[in-house]
Amino acid sequence: MSGLRQFVSEEVWEAEILEDEDYEAWVEDPLESIERREKRQLDLALASTGAIVIAFTIFAAMWGTVGDHMMAGIDTNPGASVDITWGDTIFMMRDADCVDPQNGQDFPEYGIGYEPSLAIDGHGNMFITAHKDLRWSTPQGGSANWIGGEVNLYPDGACLSDYMTSWDYFASWFWISNDNGTTWGIADNFEETPGTVVEGQVTNGASGSACLGDEGDIAVDAMDRIYYLDTYLEDNWIHVFSDGGQTFESGLCDRQYSMAADDRPWIQAQNNGIVHYLGNSGVPVPACNDDPARYWYYRSADGGQTWSQCYSMPGGWSTIAPERSGDYVFIAQENQDTSTGHVQVRISNDTGLNWNAPIDVGPRNGNPPEGYPLVETNGVGTVAVVWADCPEGPTGPWDVRLAMSYDRGATWESWEITPPDWEGITMYPFVSINEDNVTMVSFYGIPFNNTAEGQYVAGQEWYLYSGAVREPHENDTFQFEIAAMNPDGTPEALHTVTQYEEEQGDVHALHDFFETVFSPDGTWVGIAYQQNIGQHPFEENEEQRYIKFVRGDLDI
C-alpha cells in the first residue's frame, strides 16, 4: 500500500480514511470490520500494484528505461533485416546563373554527369562529385592546349551564353550539403566558372571549378578535412576543405604529381592528414620498376601536399577503404584481369606503409563489365567486400556475393546474397556499414519479370535496390527493395532498355559506379546515383544523365 500512498496527497489520504465506511463499521462491530478491512487491504494492494506499473511505464517512457526495440517489436539479433524508409529523390542543381534553356537538356536546371561518388564527415555534411558529360563541358570552338604535360591555356567558355553549353565546371561536379542531404550547393571557392587556366593556375577571378577535370573522388579524414581529387588523365588536381566544405584550405589546381596517366581515381583518408590514392593506370609504370599491374598505390602523410612513389598492386579492378580513425587500410581487387578467378584483399596495419600478401575472400564466376569489388570498413574491426558475377554473360542473370570479416581481415565469411526467388541483373553493388554493424548493400538492378519476354530485352527498366541486415553472417538473407520512388509511390525507373542495347547486349547505360554512406550516428543512409532522362542531343544511342540523391531513415 505504501507504493500507492506516495502518489496521493496527505489531505486526500486523510479524507479517504475519515470518510471510509470501514471506519464506521469498526466502531459498531470490530470483529466484522476485520474481514471487511482485509478485503479492503487486498483491493488496495492490487490498486497499488496497478499504480506502480502505470507510474513505471510513464517514467520509463520519459527516461527511456523501457527498451524502444522491445516496445516496437524490432528484431535486434544478428542476421535480422533492417527496414529503411526512403525520402524523396533530389536532383543535383546547377548554378542558377548557368542555366541555359537552349542547351538541349530536358531539365537544364539540373547537373548532367554520371558515376557519382559520395562522402560524409563526422557531422553529417555530405559531398558528391560526378564524371563530366564532356559535350556540355566544352564551348564550341574551345580547346585545351597541352605543353609539356602542363595546361598552357584554356579559354573562357563555361557558364557563358551563346556557347551551346551551360556547364558550371571545367572540373568534375562538386556539390556539398550541410543539412543532412536536404539541400545541396557549392563549396567555398568553387563558384561557377568562367575563368582562364594559365600554366596550371586559374586567373581572371576564376575559382577551383575552372581546373580542367574529368572524373573525381572524395575522402574525409578523422579531423573532418575533405579531400576532393579530380583527374585530367595525365595527372590529378587535389583540393582540400574544412568546416563541411565552407573553408577552402589548399591552393587552386594543386597537382598530385602521380607517376602515370590515370583513369578512375580512388582517394581515401584517415587520422590527421594521411591520404591514400589508388590510381587505375592499366599499364606498367616505368617509375615503379615496370611491375605488371592495373592499379598503383600512392600515400601522403601531409594532407595531399606530397606523395610517395607509386607502389604496384598486381590484380584487376580494385577499391580501397581505411579506418577513418585507426591504422588499418584495406584494398579489395580481382586477383587478375580475367573473367573468372577470385576476389582478394590486401591489408595494411600501419596506415599504408606496408602491405600483407593478398587474401582470397571468395570466387569470381563470370566477370561483369567493369565490375569493381567494393571494400568498406566501419573502423571498429568490421570489413565488408561485395561484388557481382555474371556467370551466363552480361545479359543473363547476375549474382551478388558478400564477404564479411569482424576481426580486421584475419578471418572471413563469404556467401551469395542474390535476392531469393529473383532473377535479373545486379550491377555495381556497393556496401556501407555503421558502427553497430548494420550492413547495407545497394545495386542497380533489372528484375527479369518486368516483361513477358523476360531476360534482357527492350522495355526492361533499371531500378535502385537496397537492403540492410544487422551483423550479417554466412547465409543470412538480404531483403532488397527499391530505394528510389516517384512522388506517386511508383518505382523510379533509372533507365529503360532500348532496342539498340538489347541487340548489342549493352548493359552500360548507368555507367560504372555509384556510392552510399551511413550517417555518423548510424540512423540514416544516403545514396548518390544516376538517372537517365530524355535522349542525348549530341550522342547517338545515349540519354541525358542526371545525378540524384536519396536519403533513407533506418528503423533501428
Task: Compute the distance between CA of residue 241 and CA of residue 171 in angstroms, rounded to an integer.
Answer: 16
pTM here is 0.85
Closest CA to 35 of 46, 51, 43, 19: 43
In a domain, 109, yes or no: no
Q: Last residue of a domain, which of 13, 39, 66?
A: 66
What is the widest separation between alpha-carbon atoms in the chain? 117
Helix (H) or strand (E) holding 91: strand 90-91
Which amino acid does the sequence have at 504? Q
Residue 475 corresponds to which cell in the numbers above? 547465409
CATH number at residue 470: 2.120.10
Could you tell me which residues come within 8 angstroms of residue 264 by beta carbon, excluding any fewer than 6 positions away? 115, 215, 217, 231, 280, 512, 513
For 68, phi then psi, to 5°, come to -60, -40
Helix (H/G/I), strand (E/B), else coil: 48:
helix
Q: Please identify which residue in the block is written with the cell numbers 496497478.
A: 50
In a domain, 518, yes or no: yes
In a domain, 269, yes or no: no
On the CB side of 297, CA atoms within 13 Å amount to 26
Residue pair 257/156 in contact (Cβ under 8 Å)? The answer is: no
Give the number of other CB atoms < 10 A from CB of residue 518: 23
Helix (H/G/I), strand (E/B), else coil: 101:
coil
pLDDT at 236: 87
In a domain, 486, yes or no: yes
| Dihedral of alpha carbons 247, 249, 251, 257, sign | negative
**Helices 21-28 and 10-19, axial angle in degrees (round to 10):** 40
In a domain, 468, yes or no: yes
In a domain, 204, yes or no: no
Which amino acid does the sequence have at 301? A
- For residue 45, the enclosing domain spans 2-66
In a domain, 230, yes or no: no
pLDDT at 293: 77
Could you tell me which residues come within 8 angstroms of residue 488 by beta carbon, excluding any fewer than 6 positions away? none
Task: Compute the distance between CA of residue 489 and CA of residue 487 in angstroms, rounded to an integer.
Answer: 5
Task: Compute the distance between CA of residue 344 and CA of residue 229 in angstroms, rounded to an integer.
Answer: 26
In a domain, 256, yes or no: no
Kindly give the confidence (pLDDT) of every residue in the chain, 556 residues in length, as a single tens digit, with 9 standing for 90 and above: 333 333 334 443 344 434 444 434 434 454 444 455 445 554 544 444 444 444 434 433 433 433 555 446 789 999 999 999 999 999 999 888 888 888 889 999 999 899 999 999 999 999 999 998 766 655 444 444 333 344 444 445 567 666 666 678 878 899 999 999 999 999 999 988 766 666 556 666 678 888 878 889 999 999 999 999 998 877 888 999 999 999 999 988 888 887 677 788 899 999 999 999 998 887 767 667 667 778 889 999 999 999 988 888 988 899 999 999 999 999 999 999 888 999 999 999 999 999 999 999 999 999 887 788 999 999 999 999 999 999 999 999 999 999 999 999 999 999 999 998 889 999 999 999 999 999 999 999 999 976 656 789 999 999 999 999 999 999 999 999 999 999 999 999 999 999 999 999 999 999 999 999 999 999 999 999 999 999 998 888 999 999 999 999 999 8
Domain count, the chain: 2
Task: Compute the distance between CA of residue 213 and CA of residue 231 in angstroms, rounded to an integer.
Answer: 6
Task: Compute the distance between CA of residue 66 and CA of residue 554 in angstroms, rounded to an integer.
Answer: 20
Could you tell me which residues come within 8 angstroms of residue 267 by beta carbon, excluding any fewer than 6 positions away? 217, 218, 219, 227, 229, 238, 275, 276, 277, 278
